Amino acid sequence: MRRAIFPGSFDPLTNGHLDIIRRSLPLFDEIVVAILNNPEKNPMFSVDERRSMIEEILSRIDATTCRLVVDSFSGLTADFAREKQAAAIIRGIRAIGDYEYELRMALMNRRLQPEIETVFLTAAEEYSFVSSTLMKQVFELGGRVDALVPEPIIEKMRAKLNGAAAI
């Protein structure tokens, strides 16, 4: 049983994240999408909101050979990976700019948990500029993010923005 965790903030999940999940399916028997509980970052969505949105989106993926699970964690990714008895930590690399930071994390995680490998997957070119932070910023300023963020999540972002405007 090959289990991997795919850790991140997922505030919100983008089509870039989904692309990495899809590419990971043939490689593992189970993938745990692991949402970091990091309230200091002042997220747009609570962990519970992110979890239910991700579950909804993942339920549409035809993943016959790989179980997709959503979980959340606090503290170190390496500790969570070990707790889950994961063989690997999945991270997506969009462009060369991501590599230095990702390499440092991978090496630190290896030092913390030497038996857990970080697996880097390259995102599709059309998502090479997509980040949750950019998507939120553009959306909040009235720009369109369709085809970059799953439609049901855009609806939730719209509801958040309208809710915020109503306060």
8 A C-beta contact, residue 117 and residue 89: yes
**Rounded to the nearest whole angstrom, what is the least distance from the CB of residue 167 to ligand PNS in the complex?**
27
- Could you tell me the smallest distance in angstroms from the CB atom of residue 148 to ligand PNS? 16
Alpha helices (runs of H) in 15-128, residue ranges in sequence order:
15-24, 47-58, 77-83, 96-112
DSSP 8-state assignment for residue 142: T
| Tally: H helices and E strands in the chain | 6, 5
x-or-dash string of contact with ligand PNS, 82-121, rule CB under 6 A: -----------------------x--xx------------
Q: Which residue has the tokens 């903030």?
A: 9
CA atoms in the 13 A half-sphere facing the CB of 46: 3
Part in contact with ligand PNS (CB under 6 A); list of ranges 1-9, 22-30, 54-62, 152-160: 1-9
Q: Would you mind telling me the total number of residues written for the chain in this entry?
A: 167
> Is 17 marked active-site?
yes
Give 76 or 87: the residue with its C-beta nearer to ligand PNS: 76
Regarding 31 and contact with ligand PNS (CB under 6 A), the answer is no
Catalytic residue positions? 17, 41, 94, 132
Q: Which residues lie near ligand PNS (CB under 6 A)?
A: 7-9, 36, 76-78, 105, 108-109
